[in-house]
Structure 1
Amino acid sequence: MLSMDAFSLYIMFCVLAPLLGAFTLLFLFIFEKRIDLLEKQTREIALQRELQTALYNQLNQEIQPHFLFNTLNSILSLARLERKTELIRSIEALSRLLKFKYQTNSPFITINDELTYIKYYLEIQKIRFRDRLHYEIAMDPSVGQAVIIPFLIQTFVENAFKHSFEKYAGEAFLKIIVEKKEKYVHVTVWNSSSEKHEDQPHKGGLGLENIAKRLELLFSPEHTSIQLTSLNDKTNVLAVFPYVNKNENQGDKRL
């Protein structure tokens, strides 16, 4: 015969057991839904990342013909002027540039690589403009292996020739500054112009829009910026983006 305490425990167990079972089933149901939601979010993030990678690669492909056409136009100018010796040197420089460029298909490169492109390009322009062109490259050695989108600095340099040096006579001055400030890389390109400007910001053309979009895709919008300003006879363009060492992010296609 059950004692009163045992009987009370039995009644309590009979009452609580279904409740515990119901709570267990509810917990399992919520947990399963949570897992499904996380899996869905993971798939959506993966899909979004694939789309961003595809868009980034598309933007990279768009900017490359622009660079090539500008370089070929510079060489064509030498051909029209029948400057044969300089033309041959320019073609050799272009050949080295293209050979270097197609050694890698990475969606991003190092600043050292980007400056290598620019030196080849400036070599061609120096042949074309002769003593009229003066340029300087100043780089903080600590940012040489930092990640940068292809043709970022190159586009800034091309704009200097397209919008200033090719339009206005006189001395052409170009300066490229690459430095690290705290956790960010600052890339500054300024050029002289015979046209006077008031101090004002500019939106820039399609090339700068392409750069802004690619920077946002490679890093994130809140950590990147592009500023283009003109003051008196100088135009200044500044790009800011996070410092990321390529050797520390070998496997990342998007940082």
Structure 2
Amino acid sequence: MLTVEAFSLNIMIAALAPLLGAFTLLFLFIFEKRIDLLEKQTREIALERELQTALYNQLNQEIQPHFFFNTLNSILSLARLDRKAELIRSIETLSKLLKFKYQTNNTFITIDEEITYVNYYLEIQKIRFRDRLHYELSIDSNANQAITIPFIIQTFVENAFKHSFEKYIGEAFLKTTVEKKEKEIHITVWNNAIEGREELSQERGLGLENITKRLELLFPNGKTSVQLINSDNGTSVLAIFPFMLNPEI
């Protein structure tokens, strides 16, 4: 025979069991929904990363046809002028440049690697412009191994030729400076041309817009900027981005 206490306990369990079952089902439902939400967020993050990588690679490739078209035009001008020795040298340099380009498939390279590429380009242009062209490269030794996007300096240099040196006669002076300032890299490419900068200011050029987007993608959590600066003695392009070493080293 059940005691009053035992009977009361059975009644309480019978009354609470459905509630406990309901709370358990509710907890499992909420937990399952939370898992689904986390999986969805994980998929969205993965898709966003894939999209950014695809966009970055697309932007990285946009510059190449334009650059090689200009370089081939430079070599073609040597052939038309029958400057055979210089033509051979420029083709040899172009072969080195192409080898470097097709070995550079990463989303970033070091400043030192970028300067190697720029030197090939300037060597071709020096053959073309001869004594008219004067250029200087000043690279902070503390910045050599900093990472950057491929073809950033080359694009600034190429714009100086495209918008100024190729269109207007006179001495062509070009100075490239790379500095490490606290936790930032500052890249400045200056040329002495006054003519043609209004055109560049109006359109900013595919190259500058391209670089702005690529820097933002490479350094999503850092401060980046690309500025076109006009002065009485010429035109400069200044790029600023975080100082960061290759994480794989």
TM-score (norm 1): 0.86
| Partner SS, residue 238 of structure 1 | strand
**1:103 aligns to what?**
103
Distance 2:7 2:186 in 1: 79
Pairwise mapping of residues 146-157 of structure 1 onto structure 2 (< 5 A)? 146-157=146-157
TM-score (norm 2): 0.88
User: Alpha carbons of 1:7 and 1:177: their partners in 2 closer, same or farther (altered >3 Å)?
Assistant: farther
Distance 1:82 1:143 in 2: 41
**Paired-residue identity, %:** 73
Count, aligned residues:
248
The yes-or-no answer on 1:241 pairing with 2:241 is yes
**2:136 aligns to what?**
136
Distance 2:233 2:197 in 1: 6
Structure 1 residue 161 displacement after superposition: 0.9
Pairwise mapping of residues 173-252 of structure 1 onto structure 2 (< 5 A)? 173-195=173-195, 204-220=204-220, 223-246=223-246, 248-249=247-248
Amino acid at match of 2:20: L
Structure 1 residue 85 displacement after superposition: 1.7
Structure 1 residue 2 displacement after superposition: 5.8
Does the CA-based 8 Å contact 1:111-1:146 persist in structure 2?
A: yes
* Structure 2 unaligned blocks of 5 or more: none
Distance 2:116 2:58 in 1: 23
RMSD: 2.5
Distance 1:12 1:234 in 2: 90
Distance 1:138 1:23 in 2: 70
Structure holding more strand per residue: 1
Distance 1:242 1:16 in 2: 61
**1:253 aligns to what?**
none
Does the CA-based 8 Å contact 2:117-2:154 persist in structure 1?
A: yes
* Structure 1 unaligned blocks of 5 or more: 251-255
Structure 1 residue 93 displacement after superposition: 1.1
Does the CA-based 8 Å contact 2:194-2:235 persist in structure 1?
A: no
The yes-or-no answer on 1:64 pairing with 2:53 is no
Structure 1 residue 194 displacement after superposition: 4.2
Pairwise mapping of residues 7-46 of structure 1 onto structure 2 (< 5 A)? 9-46=9-46
CA deviations 1:77-115 (Å, max 9, x no partner) are 222222222222111111111122222422322221111
**2:85 aligns to what?**
85
Structure 1 residue 188 displacement after superposition: 1.3
